Structures are given as C-alpha cells and as structure tokens.
Structure 1
C-alpha cells in the first residue's frame, strides 16, 4: 500500500426534497450566485424555477447561464468567467450532471485566476499546469449520477481549438456542497442512465486494476461498489421511479470518484484518456465511449497481471476460478462485462457508434501521455502504438 493524503471536504446533503435547501446552503457562501445549467430538461422539469425561487427566498441574487453541452466547451467557460466578473458573482451553483459541474468548476477557478483558465487543463509545452489555489465558492444540485464530479477533484473541459479534451485535478476542484436527491433522476432517458452507470463502473475499475499489492480493503470496497452498480442499474432502467435503485446509483457514483477508494492504490486512467479522444473527435457520450474502450484496454493488458483479472472475474462477475487456466477465467470476466454493457443498451464496438478506422492513428498520437517518458498508464505503460492497437481491438 502506497502513502496517501485523502481530503474530501464536500458537504453532502442527500435525499428526497433536499433541493429545497439550496437557497439556505448557498447563502452561506455568497449573496449573488451564478446558476449554471445545460439544456431544457432542468427547465421542463421545473427544477430550475424551484432552485431560483429557493435562492431568492434566502436573499441570494441570481444570474443565470445555460447552454452546457456534453463534453463541456471552453468557450462557454470563458463566457461564464466574464459574466461573473461583470456581475460581481460571489458563488457558482451547478444544476445538472458532470458536464455542468465541470463547466462550473472551471468558471469558479477562472474568475480568480489572472491568466487563461485553459492553463489548468492544457498546461505549458512541457505539460506543466498551475495548481488551483483560489476560486469562487461552488455548489451543486446533482441531476445525473455518472461523472462523480459532485465530490471529485477533477474537471474536464474541451477546447474547440483542436478539439482537445483535457482534465485538471486537485483538491481545489472539489465543490463546497452537493445536494443529491435521487428523485431528480427519475426522468433521465434510459440511454443517459446507462451511460452514467458505465462511467461509474469505469471509475471503480480504473482504481481496481492497480500494480500495487496489499490493497485488500480497497479491493473489497471497490468490488462491493461494482456489484452494487451492476445490481441496481438494470432495476433503474426497468423501473425508472424505483427510489432505492436510484439512490444506490447516485451514492456509489460519488464514492467511485471522490478518491476514498483510491487510498493506498496506484490507479490507471488510461481508458478515460483514450476515450477522451473519441468524445472530443466524435462528440459521443462519454459513457458509451467507455463501454467500447474499456473491454478493448482489458484485452490488450490483462496478461500483465492475469490473476488480478481473474480475481475481478470471480469476485465481481461470479465466474468460477479455473486454477489450471486462470487466463480463461480472466477472459470470461471481460466477456461477462461486455454482456452487461449490452444488456443495458451500451455499445461495445466502435462501429456501433458510427466510428471507423479513419482517425484511429491520429487519436492515438493525440492521446494525453501523462508519464514523464511519453507514455500513458500506471497498470502498464502505453505508447501511441499501444493505444492504436487498443483502438483497433475496439473495432
């Protein structure tokens, strides 16, 4: 187990009707709020009106900015920063899912930064990025459990200039509070629910496949989280207003990415980086892209530690352990995972997303290489040729 420094300061307010508390909670941080949101769903549901009414009742003046898209855009972030500075906004409130929260994070950081907010994502020519040392207070009303951004230290933004999708990480990105009412997820389309479930599962698998030994406790916690998601996602899809399953999914989404399950481990986020190139180039749903990329990554790297993949197959997917041929067990687990993705309506091959081999090499070369030697990944280091082969396995 490696040394770790765990800090998750977000105040979570979870349960039915908790959005009614948003005004009271926001007022603790400022008297003028930017309410940031995406498209029409928060308007059609009446949630946006309820949030604004709660803020106003608490004496918080409201400035609004909508228009967040999946794979949130840098241009809207810059617009939000300018708006906050012009209006004297004191606190940012995200009403939505991961894209809205990430856009809000970047706005909150950018208002307090003298340079260009993209510095935190793109870095300099050597990949060096500034650390978030100051930002506006930030709150969340969560409507889509998926990215875990409501408690995470990460923020991912897409720069339209080159369609670069890049992340920023650090405790300064963690929201001050998150209001989480599972009832708000009842109206999510099935595809969006499934994409969210896939993203949640990916966050746990990226922590599970570690080169670090002696991580038994977090292994078991991750296995429990994955089994919880696997059990409850089909229930939520079949019965959208089943509060129990929606609540389980919402809470495991937060725990999957608030870093508690990373403690003592070395995580590998190669699959996320490889998928980022897909969603940047083709604007596909992030979860759908992960359903395609993760199995391909597994098939490419499993021989690095066959027994860990066999353990995953047995403990998470209920496979029988073949002690004479653990590779068979490992591959069976990958196969069961693919069948799960298919059962919830996710693609498992690139052509299902309308993607052919045209840009595979370009995406492999562009994929972020976070290791100092120009490779990506901690479970096993991947260069551009490796990433290209993973893309090909996904065809």
Structure 2
C-alpha cells in the first residue's frame, strides 16, 4: 500500500427530513447564499420550495443560479462567479446531482481567482481558496457531495475536463434518500453505473497490496448491484435508495482509492464522448467499461479480473483463469443490460466520424499512456471504442 493522506471533512446529514438542520449549518458559513440548481426538476418534486422556504424563514439572502447543464459548462461557472461578486455571496448551496455540485465547486474556486476558471482544468495549483459549498443531493451517482473534484465542459474547444482542490470539498451535505424517489429509471441506472465505474477505476490499480481498499470496493459494488434493480422496480423503496445514496458518497470520497497508484482508464475515454456528443456520463461509462476490460485482459491482469469475478459476482473459481475472468466481465455487461442501459454507441447517437479525434484527445487530456492500469495509446482507445459498435 502506498503512502497517502485521507481528508474527508464533509459533514453528512443523512436520512429523511435532515433538510431541517440545513439552516443551522448554513448560518455558520454565511447568510448570503447562491442557490444553484439545474433544469427545474427540483421545482416539480417540491425540493426547491422546501429549501427556499427554509432559507427565507431563517432570514438568508438568496440569489439564484438556475439552469446548470447536465455537463456543466464553463460559461455557467463564469456567470455564477460574477453573481457571487455582484451580491457578495458568502456560501454556495447546490441543490441537485453531481453536475450542479461540480458547477458550484468550480464557481466557489473561481470567486477567488482573477483569471478564467477554465484554467483550473489545466493547472489545479491555481486554486488557492474557495467559497464554502453546501449541497442537497437529489441524485445518487457522482459522489461529488463528499469529494474535492469537479468536471466542467468547454463547448468551444470540445473539452470535458476535471479539476479539484481540498478547499472545494463541501462543508455539509444533506443526503435524504426520499429526494431521489422521483429520479427517472434511466438516470437511476446511469447513476448506479457511474458508482460502479468509480469503484472499478480504483480497484484495477498497479498497487497489489491495498487489500482493505479492494474489499471495501467489492462490498460497495455488491451493494449497488443488489439495490439498483430494487430501486428500478420500486422507485420509492427507501432501503434501496438509501443504500445507493450512501454508496455514491463512499465510492468516491477517497476511501477506496487512497494508497493506490495509477490513473483512471474509462473516465478519460468517456469524457471525450460527453464533450463531443453531450451524452449521459454514466451511460457512456457503462458502454465503455466492459469493452475496456476485455481489451486489457492479459496474462499480467488476469488474476485481478479473477478476483473481481469471484468476490463481486460469486463466480466459482477454477484453474482456467481466463474463463473465470471473462465470466466476470460478462456478468457486468449483463448487469447493465438488465438495468435497461443501451450498450452500443449508435444507440446513444454516436457514429464513427469522430473516433480517431476523440481517441487522440483522450490521450492528450489524461495519463492513459503513462500511469493507467494498462497503458493505452490512441490506437488502443480507438480499438476499444470500435468494440462499442
């Protein structure tokens, strides 16, 4: 296990009606609030009115930033930072899923930066300070409610890139599973696929001695695999929604990745799909991940895939390692299919016209050819994407 620092300072308010404690928590951070949210679903399900009423009852000054995109754009980050300056905002409250929270984090950092916030994606050291961020989570997926990362999109350059700093971690997050009851079936499946991908990215690492992290990841993966179908079948199953919501946070708060070397493989590839075609992130990951697994399965990696197959999927071990490994990969593929996820790129509107360019960009924007679990070049990425047709 490699040396590491683990810092997860977010205060979690988990459970039904925990929103009632939000005003007290916010009052310790500031009284002028930028209320950030997305396309309006929180108004349809009543969460917006609940939050707005609580803030008004406790005399908060509220400035709103609505319409944050599913793949949040740098233009929205700039707009949010401008609003914060104009109204002397003291705290940002993100109400929504990962995209809204990511955007809020980027705005929080941009507030203290004189340059353009897109520069954060090129050099994270530019982030020195951030406004405090609080969140009310409405979709379990990205884990952004408990980590330092943010991913934003620049349509002018067809780039979707990540950034992050410890100061961007939310100070407090409200996790009420009932707030995810209205999440559509498609988004529930996509969010669950995103959780599995976060765990898989950390699981398949060059570090072979982080046994505890692996077993934690296996347990969270099994939880997602168990409860996603239950949430799809009965959207108001509190137990299912609660387990998925907490899995989302634990999958990417550093718990399973600390002490492990290497960089991620599937996310950099998927980010290019989202940058060029604006698809749902979790769906892209579900399409790519089994194909990436098949491509990197070899004599050096087979033991890890056997571990994945036996510990996560319960596939019996036998002396034919490759047979066991392939069964594990197939089990993941079949799982996504059973959740109703489209498993080819044409099904989500992607043709072959940009494959070469996206493959080259994936290498340029990542560590795929330097520190990935199995190092990949542009030709390898293109081959993986071709296997998605």
Fold match (TM-score > 0.5): yes
Query: Deviation per CA, 1:178-208, whole angstroms, max 9, x where unpaired?
Result: 0110000001100010000000010000111
Question: Which residue is 2:316 aligned to?
Answer: 320
Pick which of 133-142 and 52-61 moved more. Answer: 52-61
Question: Which residue is 1:381 aligned to?
Answer: 375
Residue 33 of structure 2 corresponds to residue 38 of structure 1? no
Contact 1:209–1:268 (CA under 8 A) maintained in structure 2:
no
Pick which of 259-268 and 207-216 moved more. Answer: 259-268
2-side partners of 1:269 and 1:378: how far apart?
Answer: 6
Give the aligned length.
388
Question: Which residue is 1:167 aligned to?
Answer: 162
1-side partners of 2:380 and 2:256: how far apart?
Answer: 28
Residue 229 of structure 2 corresponds to residue 228 of structure 1? no
Residue 131 of structure 2 corresponds to residue 136 of structure 1? yes
Q: Compared with structure 1, are the counterparts of its residues 376 and 64 closer, same or farther at alpha carbon in structure 2 (3 Å cutoff)?
A: farther
Three-state SS of the structure 2 residue aligned to 1:319 is: coil
1-side partners of 2:195 and 2:370: how far apart?
Answer: 21
1-side partners of 2:84 and 2:211: how far apart?
Answer: 46
Question: Which residue is 2:111 aligned to?
Answer: 111
Residue 268 of structure 2 corresponds to residue 278 of structure 1? no
Question: Which residue is 1:67 aligned to?
Answer: 67
Q: 2:306 aligns with which of 306, 310, 315?
A: 310
Structure 1 segment 276-355 matched on structure 2, within 5 A: 276-303=271-298, 304-323=300-319, 325-355=320-350
Query: Deviation per CA, 1:201-222, whole angstroms, max 9, x where unpaired?
Result: 1000011101111111111111
Pick which of 261-270 and 174-183 moved more. Answer: 261-270
1:392 Cα deviation after fit: 1.0
Q: Compared with structure 1, are the counterparts of its residues 206 and 307 closer, same or farther at alpha carbon in structure 2 (3 Å cutoff)?
A: same
Pick which of 165-174 and 85-94 moved more. Answer: 165-174
Residue 200 of structure 2 corresponds to residue 205 of structure 1? yes
Gaps of 5+ in 2: none
User: How large is the RMSD of aligned CA atoms in angstroms?
Assistant: 1.3
1:48 Cα deviation after fit: 0.9
1-side partners of 2:129 and 2:366: how far apart?
Answer: 27
TM value normalised by structure 2:
0.97
1-side partners of 2:21 and 2:363: how far apart?
Answer: 40
Contact 2:363–2:377 (CA under 8 A) maintained in structure 1:
no
Structure 1 segment 48-127 matched on structure 2, within 5 A: 48-121=48-121, 123=122
1:354 Cα deviation after fit: 2.3
Three-state SS of the structure 2 residue aligned to 1:178 is: strand
2-side partners of 1:282 and 1:221: how far apart?
Answer: 34
2-side partners of 1:387 and 1:189: how far apart?
Answer: 31
